[in-house]
Amino acid sequence: MAVDLSSLLGSSSSMPELPWLQLVLTFIVVVNILHTYLDMRQLKAIKLPDPPASLKGLFTRKLYDEAQAYSVDKWWFGFWHGIYNLVETVLWLQLRIVPWLWYSLPSWLPQPLAAIVEDNEIVHTVAFMLASSLINLVLSLPWTLYSTFVIEQRHGFNKQTLGLFFSDLVKSCVLGAVFIPPLVAAFTYILQRAGPWVPLQLWAFVLGVSLFFLTIYPVVIAPLFNKYELLPQGSLRDKIEALAGSLSFPLKKLYTMDGSKRSGHSNAYMYGFFNNKRIVLFDTLIKECSEEQVVAVLAHELGHWKLRHTPINFVMSQFITLANFLLFAGMRTAPGLFESFGFDKSRPAFIAFVLFQFVVAPVDEVIGFITNVVSRRFEYQADGFAVQQGKGKELREALLKLEETNKASLNVDPLYSAYHHSHPHITERLAAIDTALKKGQ
């Protein structure tokens, strides 16, 4: 006897018909009010005339003023971009742009392609997603250009030329044209054919796609945008390999990446499955920090590995994904869902999932907050791990150096930070590191 997993959440046909669009619009407005309240608190914090007492004397007045100006510029950009996104979203929903795009799409295309799109739902869905992606790209492009070539340029971070920017854009579009059609087609096929096991089959499909991209991204996609070179033999490489060896970290390759060709910001990351790990250092990190500071940053990153934060995050994400698909399976035929958003002629399988994303937004907001809470806890633990490896002083120096290099806001509103930030503020991290150092004395 087949088990309908969606029945675990109840039959959608037994749900009352709700004003789905009005509920979604109400939630969008409420969330924007909350975000605006937190944003205003943050603006007040970043405009304070002096840094926190714990950071006084650690940064020059000139640096504080520069960091403050950068933070204010980014705040205003985010504020106006947020208003634009709110207006755009409300208009798309109120004017029924999504159903208009779906139903009118075949008329834009020449024959016989138009007939194929109209007669085959999978082909129609692929064409719809490509058209939606193109529209979103065009609408977001002015904002991206302004952020990169005005704000980042003004504050000395942008290293891109317009030629490089549009070269990256073309590459991204080509990758989208290659990957979107088969992925959307497969997802739609599962929705049409899976029956009672649709949540598990969608989850398995998304898991497989995730593992596929985790495998090909560093070796196929990332090199299209950046140059990766093995870190030359020398004292820095020796120190990193010694740290990895002391922790039994299966380091296979150690790369540098030319992040400076696009931005002055710094970073480092790890990737790879099982006993095949790689570490990538931005060239800006090597340039701005001493060797001991770079090693301390990697001790923090290796702390995430040693404390199993990566597999924990992975399991959490898979649990959330499966729960999301179970909820979707229970709601995809909810009475009035399609009609509320303007789909009164048909009920396309993939569109059900698109509409579900609007309806489930309150849950996503809560999950995002919880994810940040977990992430912040992991950051404290990774800092503590670096202290245990004898790198506490150097990590402290590295965090201050990165704060200086990235012109990060030295003042932050605690409520804004708790809601939006996945990392604790510099003052919180330094206080925790100092406490751990004192305990270790």
Positions marked catalytic: 301, 383
Alpha carbon of 350 to those of 69, 168, 186, 358, 401: distances in Å?
45, 29, 11, 13, 48
CA dist 217 and 224 (Å) reads: 10
Q: What is the dihedral angle through the alpha carbons of 204, 206, 207, 212, rounded to the nearest 10 degrees?
A: 120
CA 320 to chain centre: 16
Angle, CA of 419, 270 and 160, to the nearest 5°: 75
Which residue in 181, 296, 277 sits closest to 236, CA to CA?
A: 296
- Tell me the backbone φ, ψ of residue 131, rounded to 5 degrees: -65, -40
Residue 29: closest CA among 81, 78, 90:
90
Q: Quick one: DSSP state of residue 290? A: -
- Asked if residues 236 and 287 have their Cβ atoms less than 8 Å apart, the reply is no
d(CA 233, CA 130): 46
Backbone angles phi, psi at 381, to 5 degrees: -65, -40
Strand order across the 228-230 sheet: 228-230, 251-257, 277-282, 268-271
Q: What is the C-alpha to C-alpha distance for residues 102 and 131, in angstroms, rounded to an integer?
A: 10
